[in-house]
Structure 1
Amino acid sequence: MIADLIPLLPFSQNALWGFFLVFLRIGSMVSFLPAFGEQTVPVRVRLGITLAFCLIIFPAVSDRTTAAPDTLMSGLAIGGPEIATGLFFGLLLRFFVIALQTAGAIAAQSTSLSQIFGGTAGADPQPAIGHVLVVAGLALAAMMGLHVQFAAYMIQSYNLVPLGAVVESETVSALGVAAVSRTFALGFTLAAPFVLASLIYNVTLGVINKAMPQLMVSFVGAPAITAGGLFLLLITAPFILSIWVDTFMAFVMNPSGGF
């Protein structure tokens, strides 16, 4: 019986090598994934998530894997680019979380709430508004089948960068520059109501101070802008999260963006 199984040994080696290559890319990508790759998620849980995604992705890309290498250097030459590719495509998704954090920071600064820190999904503290937006955005995205979209995104990454290939400079420049510009544009767009409210508040405060110099407008205006900011967050949060989720899901479904 053992003699009959010996001819299957090369096939099993190639399958394990192909699964390992998929694990390298997917594991690197999961470390940056929104919701699944947060630093508050235990390492063992992230490892389990990585293996689960690998079991889903490997059958779809198994025909693109290469045979097991004969030397260590040839294995590193194939595995190294896979790690870099996974980090790159994971970072493209992480930019959307940064956009929410940027929007929260702008909104908090505009409404004098930047010194109020809340919990955080990451390692660094952030303003309470940013924490609310990030947690709510990730929860909403997860409720809309985020894991299914991520699996499709991972498979599409093999269409943009074949297995074992190095990410081309054209791909990095096109997708990277677009991701950075979209991050700041989206962050400012989401925080636009708070910036507009802050502008109206400061203009009004300046007019009142000009008309009544003896009035301590800062003591009157500070509670007003704080209460107004919280009320504005209550009203605009559903629209902010809706715009963010639509933009996020559109990118996950089509990461190339016409590239």
Structure 2
Amino acid sequence: MIEVPPALIALATQELWQMLGVFLRVSAVVSLMPAFGERSIPVRVKLAIAIVFALIVAPAVGEMPLPASPLGFAAFAIPEILVGLALGVAIRLFVLALQTAGSIAAQATSLSQFLGGAGEPLPAMGMLLALAGTTLALILGLHVRAAAFLIHSYTLFPAGDLPVPSDMARWGVAQVARSFGLAFTLATPFVIASLLYNLALGVINRAMPQLMVAFVGAPAITMAGLFLLFICTPVILPVWVDAMFAFLADPAGAP
């Protein structure tokens, strides 16, 4: 019978604990990350993705001390999961910003019910922008930037340390404000087109009260909305991807 040296057992135990400690945070982030954490992806695939990210991140993180008791493990695991969820929600807000921009654009151009029941309960514009934006982010290396983001997160939030609630609250509010500001910025062309359309409709209605301007204007605003979507999407998506990648590079930066 081969006797295993105690030093080798201690090394294996430390490496397994390092992997488990990183997995706690990484799995929480991956469960909410765009593309990797979508509801349409099976749970087993998400688990495999989280394990792969943990294998990438673990060697770049400082050594984590082994907990001396189950209570010590709980004291380590709870902050890690909470930090992972907070970081995951912050990234997820960018997808919600794109969906909100699509909803604003659809409401402004009378396309909110066009294919609104297909898939998620979102207008077609929101679904299209979210899918296209996520695809573009993956093509531009979202997985690489996400791995760097996870490694950098241990500098901002050391392993096992519970963040100060007041600081996390301010940071979270700033991310939500950034999300809504980004959503309205992306939908600005559609809002401006809707404003001009309603002003023109009001002038025409005052000039010719007998004309049913709604029947004339509805096809016009629908066509204008689709045309704006066609010409603005190549501009909207890069702006959104740049904003998300800037956050991944510096999560603590000012919105």
- Answer whether TM exceeds 0.5 for this pair: yes
- Pick one of 65, 69, 72 that aligns with 2:70: 72
* CA deviation vs aligned residue, 1:34-79 (integer Å, no higher than 9, x gap): 1111111111111110011001000001x33112x23211111111
**Counterparts in 2 of 1:2 and 1:70: CA distance versus 1, 3 Å:** farther
Aligned to 1:57: 57
Aligned to 2:40: 40
Aligned to 2:216: 220
Aligned to 2:197: 201
Compute the displacement of 1:127 (Å). Answer: 0.4
Aligned to 1:9: 9
* CA deviation vs aligned residue, 1:184-238 (integer Å, no higher than 9, x gap): 1000000000000000000100111111111111111111100110001101111
- Pick one of 233, 246, 250 that aligns with 2:242: 246
- 2:88 matches 1:90: yes
Structure 2, gaps ≥5 residues long: none
Aligned to 2:147: 151
One-letter identity of the residue aligned with 1:249:
F
Select between 70-79 and 92-101 the one with higher mean Cα deviation: 70-79
One-letter identity of the residue aligned with 1:229:
G
Quick one: distance in 2 between partners of 1:79 and 1:141?
30
Compute the displacement of 1:21 (Å). Answer: 1.0
Quick one: distance in 2 between partners of 1:188 and 1:96?
12
Tell me, yes or no, if the aligned pair for 1:64 and 1:163 is still in contact at 8 Å: no
Structure 1 runs (4+) deviating above 6 angstroms are none
Aligned to 1:21: 21
Quick one: distance in 1 between partners of 2:4 and 2:200?
87
TM-score (norm 1): 0.94
**Counterparts in 2 of 1:164 and 1:2: CA distance versus 1, 3 Å:** farther
Tell me, yes or no, if the aligned pair for 1:119 and 1:131 is still in contact at 8 Å: no
Quick one: distance in 2 between partners of 1:180 and 1:64?
33
- Pick one of 92, 108, 111 that aligns with 2:109: 111
**Counterparts in 2 of 1:139 and 1:119: CA distance versus 1, 3 Å:** farther
Quick one: distance in 2 between partners of 1:7 and 1:198?
71
TM-score (norm 2): 0.95
Quick one: distance in 2 between partners of 1:158 and 1:41?
27
Quick one: distance in 1 between partners of 2:232 and 2:4?
67
Structure 2 counterpart SS, 1:3: coil
Aligned to 2:133: 137
One-letter identity of the residue aligned with 1:217:
V
Question: Which residues of 2 match residues 227-242 of structure 1 at below 5 A?
Answer: 227-242=223-238
Quick one: distance in 2 between partners of 1:99 and 1:81?
27
Aligned to 1:127: 123
Quick one: distance in 2 between partners of 1:112 and 1:7?
69
Tell me, yes or no, if the aligned pair for 1:37 and 1:46 is still in contact at 8 Å: yes
Compute the displacement of 1:169 (Å). Answer: 2.4
Structure 1 counterpart SS, 2:3: helix
Compute the displacement of 1:177 (Å). Answer: 1.7
Tell me, yes or no, if the aligned pair for 1:25 and 1:85 is still in contact at 8 Å: yes
Aligned length: 254
Quick one: distance in 1 between partners of 2:117 and 2:2?
61
Structure 2 counterpart SS, 1:166: coil
* CA deviation vs aligned residue, 1:6-45 (integer Å, no higher than 9, x gap): 3322222222112111111000000110111111111111
RMSD: 1.5
Structure 1, gaps ≥5 residues long: none
